[in-house]
Amino acid sequence: MKILVCISCVPDTTSKIVIDPATSQISNQGLTFIVGPYDDYALSRAIELKESHSAEVIVLHVGGTESEALIRKCLALGADSAVRIDGNPVSSNQIATAITSYVKQNPCDLILMGKESIDYNSGIVHGLVAGALGYTHFNPVMHLELAGDSLNLEVEMDGGKMEVTCPLPAVLGCQEPIAEWKIPSMRGIMTARTKEIVVIPLTDTSEVQLLKADIAETARKNKMIKAEDAEQLIDLLRTETNVL
């Protein structure tokens, strides 16, 4: 059983996002990068399956050299090997095409990734990969159990959830509570040093042109109401804002 876990490397959730005036794009200055939190859930579940079902876990990332430390952390958590498709993708299609090309050359049974990356929030790479490969697709998956040649899943849907049996090969977008985040052990960190990170170039292009990024400013009223006058809130919501 071969599991490919695709990870995004994204600014930490507490990051203050600023624009670089020279490029009109998001500035990477002063940002701390982490493995996407949803991807981290996917990886944690893959490692649990490695331990319980002796699966092989390969981590894949599409991005630049700056991500190597984070890929190394995934190896320290227990992934067996890693692939970095080297480049700076600008669209979900470009990332999905790169993953698809890799899988066509290196078949695997199960592809896991987060339901979305927390930087661009697109949430469509798993669907694009599944569609291109003709694999079964579910998203967002909250529970995953191996059952022989297929999977038992719990999947969130609009207005509820469902339990499904899913044949392999499959591509799944993951979210909590599929697994608990893990912390690398000292032994894991040591062995990760010698594990291989294969680097292949990103050859797929995108026709999307990024023009500029802007910070969303929402002006808030910041009006304080005394606790003893709390009932006034209802009047203000009715008269000042018309939301009631």
Partner 1 sequence: MKKIAILAQIKEGQLSDTTKQLIAFVSGFQPEQLKVVTLGEIKFNSLGSSLPAEIISLTGDLWVDTASIQTLGNEVKDFCVFGIKSIQTDNLLSLLAANASQEIISGIQHLSYSAGTFTISKSIFSGKASLTLQSSTAAFFSINRNFDFGGVNELPEVAVASSVSLAASATSNAAIVSLKPITGSIPLPDAALVVSAGRGLKDPGNWTIVEDLAKELGAATACSKPVSDLNWRPHHEHVGQTGVKISPNLYIACGISGAIQHLAGVNGSRIIVVINTDPEAPFFKHADYGIVGDVNDILPRLTKKLQIH
Would you say 11 or 189 has its CB closer to partner 1? 11
Q: Could you tell me how far CA 232 lies from the centroid of its own chain? A: 43
Of 29, 160, 186, 194, which one interacts with partner 1 (CB under 8 A)? 160
29, 114, 148, 234 from 66: Cα distances, Å: 13, 20, 39, 51
Which residues between 70 and 99 bind partner 1 (CB under 8 A)? 91-93, 96
Among candidate residues 79, 117, 83, 89, the one with its CA nearest the CA of residue 103: 83
DSSP state of 48: H
Of the ranges 51-59, 60-68, 71-79, 112-120, which one interacts with partner 1 (CB under 8 A)?
112-120
Sign of CA dihedral 26, 63, 91, 8: negative
Cβ neighbour number for residue 51 with a 10 Å cutoff = 10
Of the ranges 12-20, 49-57, 64-72, 103-111, which one interacts with partner 1 (CB under 8 A)?
12-20
* Contact flag: residue 147 with partner 1 (CB under 8 A): no
Pairing outcome for strands 136-147 and 170-174? parallel
* Contact flag: residue 118 with partner 1 (CB under 8 A): yes
Of the ranges 67-75, 102-110, 193-201, 206-214, which one interacts with partner 1 (CB under 8 A)?
206-214
* Contact flag: residue 27 with partner 1 (CB under 8 A): no
* Contact flag: residue 120 with partner 1 (CB under 8 A): yes
